[in-house]
Amino acid sequence: MLINGQPQNSLSAADRAVQYGDGIFTTIKVADGKPEHWPLHYQRLIKGLQILGIDFDSWDKVQDAINGLADEAQNAVLKLLISRGQGGRGYQTPKTQQPLWILTLHPMPEHYQQWQEQGVELGISEIQLARQPKLAGIKHLNRLEQVLVKLHAPEQGPEDMLVCDTQNMMVECSAANLFWQTNGLWYTPDLHHAGVAGVMRQRVLEHFEGRGCPVIQVQAPPTALTQAQAVFICNSLMGIVPVKRFGQAEFAIDKIRQLAREIL
């Protein structure tokens, strides 16, 4: 673990990341010694920092550390966390900020390759996401809703869970974004009220935009998937994973596997 670029194995309990979840993070896939989609990760981090009002200017050091660890690891996962640091009275933020950044290295999840090849089944989580437009889209450190999604997921059954908001509109899966195709048009949940705007989601949006057939971002209930011809989930680590079944609806996965080859 690197904290502000230095090897350390502990973090102060006074840090606001520990006290309040006051910060943001991103997870980066490392392939052949290169961090994938870093510009998209960077753009989302910048947006998150701006929304939270965290003054951060150590990007050169962060980039050097990411490149160094990626080169050593070759194939792995890098997690970058940026905290506001210490200080402030209770929730009140400090007048002078001293943000800190943490970089950790992890192995790639082994099951993602199988998911890519065989597809997954989706269930519906009993946990609903609160609507908070100010935080929607960013990957902040407050992830209790996602923890509950995982906690309440059945041990045997669907590989991932579809998560709706309190208005029963689809938002995302437990740790992935969602896309579906109906009558030749591609759709994805609108994330103005809740959810994380994933890096791979952005990559997919740019792909379809470049082909002149932009994805339609909508508020839609889960029943919309029962009319779909193709469905997939995605994030920066798993890439693009076909959905083969949702309830009684079944979907062919070959189209999604071909799409993944085009985009990735």
- Give the active site residue among 26, 36, 172, 244: 172
Q: In terms of Cα–Cα distance, which of 204, 195, 190 is closest to 236? A: 204
Q: What pLDDT sits at residue 137?
A: 98
User: Out of 3.90.1150.10, 3.30.470.10, 3.40.50.300, 1.20.140.10, which CATH number does the structure's domain 2-108 have?
Assistant: 3.30.470.10
For residues 254 and 252, give the distance between their C-alpha atoms in angstroms, rounded to a whole number.
6
- Buried b vs exposed e over 174-213: b needs ≥16 C-beta within 10 Å? bbbbbbbbbeeebbbbbbebbbbbbbbbbbbbeebeeeee
| Mean per-residue pLDDT, 220-249 | 98
For residues 109 and 160, give the distance between their C-alpha atoms in angstroms, rounded to a whole number.
14
Number of H helices, E strands in the chain: 7, 15
Q: Is the pLDDT of residue 57 over 90?
A: yes
Mean pLDDT of the chain: 97
Q: What pLDDT sits at residue 178?
A: 99
> Does the annotation count 110 as an active-site position?
no
The percentage of the chain sitting over the pLDDT mark of 70, rounded to a whole number, equals 100
More confident call, 155 vs 186: 186
Q: What pLDDT sits at residue 203?
A: 98
- The residues pairing with 179 across neighbouring beta strands, listed in sequence order, are 232
Q: What pLDDT sits at residue 155?
A: 87
| Per-residue pLDDT tens over the stretch 103-151 | 999 999 999 999 999 999 999 999 999 999 999 999 999 999 999 999 9
Q: Strands 230-235, 239-246: parallel, antiparallel or unpaired by DSSP?
A: antiparallel
Q: What pLDDT sits at residue 156?
A: 86
| Mean per-residue pLDDT, 33-50 | 98
> Does the annotation count 172 as an active-site position?
yes
CATH class of 113-263: alpha beta
User: How many angstroms separate the Cα of 23 from the Cα of each of 70, 80, 180?
Assistant: 23, 11, 32
- Residue limits of CATH 3.20.10.10 in the chain: 113-263
| Mean per-residue pLDDT, 71-75 | 92
Q: Is the pLDDT of residue 69 over 90?
A: yes
Q: What pLDDT sits at residue 74?
A: 87
| Mean per-residue pLDDT, 161-188 | 98
Q: What pLDDT sits at residue 213?
A: 95
- Give the active site residue among 26, 27, 29, 244: 27
| Mean per-residue pLDDT, 37-53 | 98
User: How many angstroms separate the Cα of 51 from the Cα of each of 10, 98, 132, 140, 242?
Assistant: 28, 17, 13, 10, 33
Q: Which residue has the tokens 């889960």?
A: 222
- Give the active site residue among 36, 139, 159, 244: 139
Q: What pLDDT sits at residue 221?
A: 99
Q: Is the pLDDT of residue 257 over 90?
A: yes
| Mean per-residue pLDDT, 77-88 | 98
**Is 207 within 8 Å of 234 (Cβ atoms)?**
no
| Mean per-residue pLDDT, 203-209 | 98
Report the largest interatomic distance among the alpha carbons of the chain, rounded to a whole angstrom. 56
Q: In terms of Cα–Cα distance, which of 262, 263, 163, 205 is closest to 43? A: 205
DSSP state of 243: E
DSSP state of 137: B
> Does the annotation count 27 as an active-site position?
yes
